[in-house]
A and B are shown apart, each in its own frame.
Chain A
Amino acid sequence: MADKCTYRLLGWLGRILLGIVLLLNMSGKAAYAAEEADHVLYRNETTGYEVYVYDQAQVLSELDAERLAEQMKELTQYGNAVFWSVQDNPLSVSGYAEAHYLNLYGDESGILVVLDLGKERAGVYSTGRIGRAFGARERERLASSLRRSIKNGSYAPSAQVIFSRALSAVEGEFMARVTKYACNALIALILAMLINFVAVNLSSRPQWTSDSELLEATLSYFDNTEPEVEFVTTVDHYKPNTGVQVLEQLNKNPFDMRRF
């Protein structure tokens, strides 16, 4: 419990620190932006999302970078794909990833993978549509499972794993949603046809006028003398009590218990 609290507190402290760093960064924003363009390897013309690779720690060979970018391109249907490597940084890896993504693309949909060589860890941040399909839980789990391979120095494959997982997650979610819409559309269509029929049937058929309504429209006269009641006979029927009958009797007169 206490550990968790400290962890959370440190997280917040980190975020505040980060804010300060970013604020300081703002001043250098113009220069930063000019430099930024070099890292955009691809821009999806239809969606406007980008592939952004900033290999600060120089962990990727040229071939690696090409392959990775090729893979990241596919994600641009759903959001921006950013790869970032760093020798060392003062923040937590996930905090670092979040901060840099927000700085680059704000609240646009996308994913950022950072490889922190100093901590020997991968950090992932995802948001928007990609974030919905590939959320915090999945990315934490995936990042920690990749620790060993990062330690072993297989940087590019680790990043590839993360991007491909994110892609399949977002595509799966996309399919699930399409499926849901398709299912609901079919059912809604059939329901509408049937509901309409019921409505038509109720509204467009002549209603039946009851006999008492017919009688109300007549001229009527009714009179009877005081009925004379004549006793005829008594019929006795043997019928043993069952639980049900006892209950029925009780329901009729709950206060009359003498018979039982």
Chain B
Amino acid sequence: MYECPNCNANLRFDIRTQNLLCDHCGTQMDPYAFQKERDAEEVQVQEEDYEVTVFTCPQCGGQLLSDDTTAATFCSFCGGSTILDSRISNQRRPAHIIPFQKTKEDCRKIYLKMMRRAPYAPTEMKREEYIARMRSIYIPYWVYTGEKNGRVKLSASKLARHGNHDVTQLYNIRTNLQAKYTGLAFDASEGFSDALSNAIAPFQWREARPFTPAYLSGFYADVDDVDPELYESDVSDIVGYELYKKIAEDPVCTKYTLGDVVEEMRPNKIKRELSMFPVWFLTYRNKDRVSYAVINGQTGKAAGDIPVDKGKYFLGSLLLAIPLFILLNLVISMQASTMLFLTGLLAGVCAFISVVQKKQLRAKEDYMDDKGSGRYLNLGKKEKTVLRKGARLDMTRAIALCLIMLWSIGMGIFSGSKQSAEMMQLFSLVVYSAVMLVGSHYVRVGGGRTEKPRIPLSIKDIATAIVKPAIGGGIAAIVLCVHPSWSLYYYVAAVAVTLLIGWDVMGIIDRHNLLTSRPLPQFNRRGGEEDGR
């Protein structure tokens, strides 16, 4: 706690002036002013640690640091309203800090702007009382420096064609390299998901300042609890690939095709330090799950996991259906069988979405989207860190699948007037379903910096995901196969398929809400018992 030299009231760091400010008498102080005073006495201690109040949430075990000793009344990790336990403790002293630049009012506007794009978010998330709980927290980050010094040898080639021969000339290219990248940062907090942390990145390292506890006055800070070695392979990948790109742009090298030389380009020295970066944090709690919205306190970049309110969603769909309905009436007038065919196709889309979501959930359960959680799935080395030279998507296969799908859809729709229309539609529905199934198998989800792994789903997983749309598609297929002459059967079947799709969309939203939230955190931080899971 820092006291005003003028009136002894508490000082707090003021974002607008970037100085310590006394609310009582308006005195402004440079944050480093206090450091110099104390430096003289306790140089030794300041190198390693600093003293701070630690608030612990009795519900989730989440810890927040502050230099304030007044009670905190809610927890930003689990969203619980409770008086947090407090104690004084020594914490590892960060090397640098990027002070908050965006005020709460700035962030309130940024947040509301983000929420405008989410019309189906729960009303609670847009209420002012809720937004008032937005909290400024310094999040600990591991900041890395990747360095490459010395001579590198690259293999290169040139291909020429002479008559019936491919003539390849092989070369070695050598160059002396000096490169240094400082400020690649990854969050060191378990409570902060990698996806959100990445979404509000980057922080401008140029504006980082040496850490002094005075910056924390009036703010909270999160505890660092992530192994710093976790991100070293990411840093190596990012810097290595960047250096490779830089070298490839060299006017000499552009004349050659460079071989797979990324290994050669990896940095030979990686250093790290702990720093504090500013983040505005808002927690939305719904029963036993939480979603976070975060805003970069330096740049104002916002991201959030926004759940969907089912009632609003269906109302919105109904409203959207009106212009679509008018548009359809202007454009097409379809036969009963064509309509049934189309509902079958759309049921297929639902099934596809469901399978992909199931994969995303599986990836999330396995914590593959969060390295910092420490439960990062142990993938094969190859899968984990293959340097990306663009996504490894098999384009020919993807295009072939798309073409087959378009062809089957076209065949189904444009055969509507022919004698054998129903049989054609049945056939194309079957083809289309097969393509959808194969396609969903190929979709890769999860992962962030790592190459996205293929998530294996069990037959049971797939079956539970697609059961409703599959029944819908089955009904459509059976009616098309029987092709009754009385068109009423088609309508009854189409209504049934639509109801099944509606039911499945509810499941899709449930899954979306699982994906945009996480279970209440259960922290077991330093000093606690062993992780019992």
List A residues at the B interface (Cβ < 8 Å).
176, 179-197, 200-201, 203-209, 211-241, 245, 249, 259
Instruction: List 9 A–B pairs whose Cβ atoms lie within 8 Å, in order of A's numbering.
Output: A185-B321, A187-B334, A190-B501, A193-B317, A194-B353, A213-B202, A217-B203, A220-B181, A238-B165
List chain A residues, Cβ under 8 A from B117: 203-204
Confirm or deny: B428 has a beta carbon within 8 angstroms of a beta carbon on chain A. Answer: no
9 extra A-B contacts, CB within 8 A, seeds A189-B321, A217-B202, A219-B181: A176-B333, A184-B325, A190-B346, A192-B319, A200-B308, A215-B242, A227-B175, A234-B169, A259-B162
Given contacts A204-B117, A206-B305, contact A214 B176 (CB under 8 A): no
| B468-521 CB contacts (< 8 Å) to partner A | 487, 491, 494-495, 498, 501-502, 505, 508-509, 512, 516
Q: Are A204 and B495 in contact, with the CB atoms below 8 A?
A: no
Segment with Cβ contacts to A, from B20-28, B191-199, B218-226, B374-382: B191-199
List chain B residues, Cβ under 8 A from A188: 321-322, 324-325, 327-328
A222–B148 CA distance with the chains assembled, in angstroms: 9
| B231-273 CB contacts (< 8 Å) to partner A | 238, 241-243, 246-247, 250, 252-253, 256
Q: Are B176 and A224 in contact, with the CB atoms below 8 A?
A: yes
Residue in contact with A226 in the complex, picked from B121, B171, B175, B204, CB distance below 8 Å: B175
Q: Are A204 and B333 in contact, with the CB atoms below 8 A?
A: no
Residue-by-residue, is B143-162 near A (CB-CB < 8 Å gives 1, otherwise 0)? 00000000000001000011
List chain B residues, Cβ under 8 A from A194: 346, 349-350, 353, 505
In the complex, how many residue pairs between chain A and chain B have their CB atoms under 8 Å apart?
Answer: 233
Given contacts A183-B339, A206-B303, A219-B183, contact A249 B177 (CB under 8 A): no
Residue in contact with B329 in the complex, picked from A184, A200, A206, A211, CB distance below 8 Å: A184
Instruction: Return A207 CB to nearest CB of chain B, in Å.
Output: 6
Q: Are B171 and A231 in contact, with the CB atoms below 8 A?
A: yes
Confirm or deny: B182 has a beta carbon within 8 angstroms of a beta carbon on chain A. Answer: yes
A190–B343 CA distance with the chains assembled, in angstroms: 8
Q: Are A224 and B168 in contact, with the CB atoms below 8 A?
A: no
Confirm or deny: B448 has a beta carbon within 8 angstroms of a beta carbon on chain A. Answer: yes
Given contacts A207-B199, A214-B201, A219-B206, contact A183 B320 (CB under 8 A): no
Instruction: Return A182 CB to nearest CB of chain B, in Å.
Output: 6
Instruction: Return A191 CB to nearest CB of chain B, in Å.
Output: 5
Instruction: Return A94 CB to nearest CB of chain B, in Å.
Output: 30
List chain A residues, Cβ under 8 A from B325: 184-185, 188
A208–B179 CA distance with the chains assembled, in angstroms: 26
Given contacts A186-B495, A192-B324, A201-B512, contact A238 B178 (CB under 8 A): no
List chain B residues, Cβ under 8 A from A206: 195-196, 198-199, 303-305
List chain B residues, Cβ under 8 A from A184: 325, 328-329, 332, 334
Residue in contact with B168 in the complex, picked from A221, A234, A240, CB distance below 8 Å: A234
List chain A residues, Cβ under 8 A from B505: 193-194, 197
A212–B242 CA distance with the chains assembled, in angstroms: 8
List chain A residues, Cβ under 8 A from B129: none
Confirm or deny: B276 has a beta carbon within 8 angstroms of a beta carbon on chain A. Answer: no
Q: Are B494 and A183 in contact, with the CB atoms below 8 A?
A: yes
Residue in B closest to A245 when the chains form the complex, CB atoms: B161
Residue in B closest to A181 when the chains form the complex, CB atoms: B329
Given contacts A185-B321, A214-B184, contact A224 B170 (CB under 8 A): no
Q: Are B180 and A224 in contact, with the CB atoms below 8 A?
A: no
Confirm or deny: B313 has a beta carbon within 8 angstroms of a beta carbon on chain A. Answer: yes
Q: Are A205 and B516 in contact, with the CB atoms below 8 A?
A: yes
A94–B78 CA distance with the chains assembled, in angstroms: 83
List chain B residues, Cβ under 8 A from A239: 164-166
List chain A residues, Cβ under 8 A from B516: 204-205
Confirm or deny: B419 has a beta carbon within 8 angstroms of a beta carbon on chain A. Answer: no
Instruction: Return B475 CB to nearest CB of chain A, in Å.
Output: 14
Confirm or deny: B205 has a beta carbon within 8 angstroms of a beta carbon on chain A. Answer: yes
A209–B509 CA distance with the chains assembled, in angstroms: 26
A107–B349 CA distance with the chains assembled, in angstroms: 48
Confirm or deny: B134 has a beta carbon within 8 angstroms of a beta carbon on chain A. Answer: no
Q: Are B174 and A189 in contact, with the CB atoms below 8 A?
A: no
Residue in A closest to B242 when the chains form the complex, CB atoms: A215
Q: Are A192 and B202 in contact, with the CB atoms below 8 A?
A: no
Q: Are B246 and A222 in contact, with the CB atoms below 8 A?
A: yes
List chain A residues, Cβ under 8 A from B349: 194
Q: Are A215 and B199 in contact, with the CB atoms below 8 A?
A: no
Residue in B closest to A184 when the chains form the complex, CB atoms: B328
Confirm or deny: B458 has a beta carbon within 8 angstroms of a beta carbon on chain A. Answer: no
Q: Are B164 and A241 in contact, with the CB atoms below 8 A?
A: yes
Given contacts A180-B334, A237-B165, contact A216 B202 (CB under 8 A): yes
List chain A residues, Cβ under 8 A from B334: 180, 183-184, 187
Instruction: Return B7 CB to nearest CB of chain A, in Å.
Output: 40
